[in-house]
Structure 1
Amino acid sequence: MRLVAVVLLAVLALRVEAASLLERGDPPLPGPLAEVIALIEEGRFGEAELRLAVLRAAAPRDPALALAAAEIAARRGDAARAESELRAGLAAAPDATALWRALGRLKALAGDAEAMDQAFRAAIAARPDERANPLEAAELWHERFGRPDRALPHYERAAAITPDDAWLLWRYGLALARAGRTAEAIAMLERAADADPTSPLPDHARGGLLAELGRPAEAIAAYDRALARRADHTETRLARAALVLSQGRTGEAIAEFDRAARERPDIPQPWVGLGMALERAGNIQGAVLAYRRALERHAEDPIALNNLAWLIALGAGEPAEAVALARRAAALLPDDPSVLTTLGEALRRSGEAREAEAQFDRAIGIEPTAERHYRRALAREALGDRAGALADLDRALVLDPRHALARADRGRLQP
């Protein structure tokens, strides 16, 4: 059974992983400290420590040197030593917000969200007008810990400092959306779009929210505005194509997916979408080719594997290939009832009715539908279980009285 969702490219977003305690910004000015940092980046920690010792002897209270020492300890896996270096630096320079932020990153690495937040709050208290403090706290809560609710006050503070920063407003809008505050999110994304007429990201996100709200015309208008800002924004084109396909505008969807495939021929998503649209239009061979092209780009794309297996099982190729493809899809999505249905049908058509019945059993156990009962009825008939087949056909007709195939086969089995 085909999977009907198009896997779209993720929205491009900064994900603060706290992999380093050093700030990700402009490199330090040429000089001894820059040389130390270069040695750290190269993994030459012993040499970095020797040079750092000379610098610290001359300037023992310099917070940048404490940060470099903590970085060496962190990269060696000694979190306790890293924290000790940071706290010693803060004892000498309590207003050094770079050290507080580094301590917050260190706590984030350890998974201690509350201690992370405390460190950033100390940075905010030291420098209330420094945007980096609340912004990084917001990003860590939002992305690393998956708590947009805790991120929102920090985004609000950062936005109060730089109210026209489009990137910040976009991130704030995404957090509002993930916190379930959809109306506020849409308004914030509008602000972000107005703040930067060149970025498609706010309108792309707004389109997705409007689509989820069941407002497709407004969603398409948002996607169109995003594409007017940047015509080659593949994520938006794919989202727009998926939406018009869901509305039955198949020809328009084919054109959109085809354009996305020409713009980004190296990724599987446009080809998967094109396959779905062509299949909807009845162009089965075109759909098979599109799914094969998706698998050339990513051999383990589960939707392409499943949908291609389904078409081949239904007659577009050899049953053995359908089984092989369906098994690969099931290995990737072992509990997806549509994938299990595809595997069951491929096995049934390959003459492996017993295993087919088992796969249909699993699919029905997860999500019973008329189609799945109908397919299991055919497998049971192949096994000589006429009573079981009739029971499945009866159940299929209860779930969908208009299921013509189930009604016809029931009449055939019990005239």
Structure 2
Amino acid sequence: MKRVLPTVAFLLLGYAVACAAETAPASDPAAIAKLVEQLGSDQFALRRHAEEELTRLGPAAQEQLKLAEQSDDLEIAERASYILQSMRVDWIRPQDAPEVRRALARFGDLSRDEKQHRIQLLAALPNGQGLPALCRIARLEHVPGVARQSALAMLRQKPPTEGAPAILDACRQELQGDVRPAAAWIELWLREQADRQATLADWNKAIDAELKLYQAKSPDTDFTTVSALMQRRLDLCNELKLVDETTAGLLAIVDLINEDEDRPQFDASLVWAIGWIVDHERWDVLNQLYQKYRGEIHGDRKLLYRYAAALSRSGKTDEANKLAERAFSMKVDEPIDRVSIAAAIADIGAVDWALREYNTAIEAMPPLSYESLIARREVSTWLHDRQDYKGASDVLLEFFQQIQAKENRLALRELRQQLDGTQYLNAIEGRQLLYQANHHHSRGEFDLERETLEKAYEKYDDDPDILIAMFRMPDASEEYKQRTRDRIAKMAESYANQIDDSPEDPSKYNQWAWLVSNTEGDFAQAVQHSLHSLELSPDEPSYLDTLGRCYFSAGDVENAIKSQRKAVELAPQYQIMRRQLAEFEKAKQ
């Protein structure tokens, strides 16, 4: 009997302690907070009772348990995390649409990657159908990173065009006053719908708090999340035309990118900043950026060129040319450095400056090197874009004439080894011949054009532009036309087979669509292939250019103009895209 008494006494004590722990009403935050505190109690029975009670309360206790995961008391943090992981959340509501139900099915059991995929599906639902569900995930998801991804997906949305008051009210009900970051961001988004500028100060506080977590290496956030919040603030300040605030927002992103104080990383951050300014035409912000980083900009050729190009876009051409001259005169370690600089500045529209860099590099390089070939290929592409077909042909012809000379056989052999065969060389030589044929066409020398196109096809039979030129050949005989049609059918079949073999490669769909839309075939299928290439590679300018041609060939001039305008907007440096847009707009008149 003496051995039993201590056990009975212990049980009675545990019962007394458990009775001392209050049963928390689901709506009483203070009682829930007390239970959370008891998770760290020295008394086992009190800890156990608190755990059971919090588990019973379920979603009502979830917000405070998520906060408790960050407690300095490791016992409380671990037990809160355990309870959250074991808690079953009722993700689906009776009022949810079928698409929302499918996206939320077994949501709590999914992997993190699959949860993020479902979040994307909800965000893509039309007219805001998925917005309340995104709020639900932001509030109830126990993994902070996933909750934040749901909130960020919400922040990217525009208010629904139909039934907005009801949908936004449903979002507020889902949040239930949650004050944790993900829900707080959505609350700010909801407030923005009434007054965007009034939320700016609170956005600054929210971003500062998230930045501190990131700098403290918290697992709850990451670079992508912080940069997305900062980018959104920047867009908001830009929309409101706030000069100082926009500049501060831009510089904050520069500082975030350059957190390791690494010079290449810093240069990349300034390149991005100047690019953003050009895209948004915020020349007032450009001046402030320049005043802050003037020394760094003048100390780096690429940055100076970028800044000069931005000045040129703003209308300050004379000042821009002076800075470009200074950038050109700066010391260069290797000729290939000029090639990389040229590629960068050509892409932002400074083609004249780029051509000078390319040509200077070509003069300094070994004439038969791979690097020289790359530079010549780029020069020829830009000259062709400007309709200087003879210049485009000649810069490549000079290379091939030299490398085919007997005394350069060793150099040719080494180049072939470097390129792993002759296919690339044949493709470039085929282009040279195509440009030569274009020159003959511009002069009305159609017999020479036909002869040169045949040589181009013999050299490289996988370039659709060669067959397109053949298809458009004036005064061609029926035999020539039929031979060209046969070649087009063969190439189209080859591309179709490549699509079957590599269905995730957007270039294959684009090649098929470009060939067919510029010659003959199933134009409706060309539109579909082109659209699919853009699904795989969204907003790729060259693919949008193809889509414009596909719509035009299919008789849909409105969509042709729409697609082509977007291509020109994304790549305004290409004159060939502008010429195609002019063709479509003229056809509409």
Q: Which structure is larger by alpha-carbon Rg, 1 or 2?
A: 2
Q: Which has the higher contact order (CA 8 A, sep 6+)?
A: 1
User: TM-score scaled to structure 2, two decimals?
Assistant: 0.35
User: TM-score scaled to structure 1, two decimals?
Assistant: 0.46
